[in-house]
Amino acid sequence: MLRVGRGLRSAVYYRLNVIGLSLPSLRDRPEDIALLARYVAPKYAGRFHSPARTLSQQALQKLLCHDWPGNVRELENVIERAVALAERPVLGQADIVIEQACPIINEAGFRQAKERVVEEFERVFLQRLLLGHEGNISRAAKASGKNRRAFWKLMRNDQR
């Protein structure tokens, strides 16, 4: 007889874990974002009796700009909210409410926009690399293909 609680959970886990699957996070699979959003929108449109069943190109672009720390569940929640509140059959950019979005490129020239994107990439890259190497700068520098001094310089530039 199985004990209720932790014993039951582990027993079920080991029974179900015959074939282990590893699925990368949504941020590593940007090609899946539009596919998932297009699948989820009609599902919630039916549930809420909403006219919103498709997404505009601008809405999809906004979804692609987000980092999705909450993974597929966060994407589904964003689409569910948009569909529930939508008044039109096509979800627009304004219907998609997410905290982080792409920088607006129209207000700056190409060079300024490129600098912002590169700075953001470097910041996120350094943070993830350092987290992955438990704050060890030497190991993070080696993993990035840079020497420790160049890596340290990148970190200092990031703090400005």
Task: Look up the CATH number of the domain holding residue 81.
Answer: 1.10.8.60
Q: pLDDT digit of tens for each residue in the chain (160 aa)? A: 444 456 667 888 788 778 777 788 998 888 999 999 999 999 999 999 988 889 999 999 899 989 899 899 999 999 999 999 988 999 999 999 997 656 555 556 788 878 878 888 888 888 888 888 888 888 888 998 988 888 888 887 765 5
The pLDDT, as a whole number, for residue 89 is: 92
Choose one of 71, 95, 119: the last residue of a domain. Answer: 95
Total residue length of the chain: 160
Residue-range definition of the domain harbouring residue 149: 110-158
Task: Give the integer Cα–Cα distance in Å for 79 and 40.
Answer: 7
Helix (H) or strand (E) holding 91: strand 90-91
Retrieve residue 66's tokens: 């987000």
The pLDDT, as a whole number, for residue 1 is: 44
Q: Tell me, yes or no, whether 116 and 91 share the same domain.
A: no
Amino acid at 127: Q
Collapsed DSSP state (helix, strand, coil) of residue 54:
strand
Amino acid at 160: R
Could you tell me if residue 1 is inside a domain? Answer: no
Q: Tell me, yes or no, whether 45 and 81 share the same domain.
A: yes
Q: Tell me, yes or no, whether 90 and 132 share the same domain.
A: no
Could you tell me if residue 150 is inside a domain? Answer: yes
The pLDDT, as a whole number, for residue 3 is: 46
Could you tell me if residue 35 is inside a domain? Answer: yes
What secondary structure does DSSP assign to 17-78, as a single string? TTS------GGG-THHHHHHHHHHHHHHHHHHT-S--EE-HHHHHHHHHS--TTHHHHHHHH
The pLDDT, as a whole number, for residue 46 is: 92
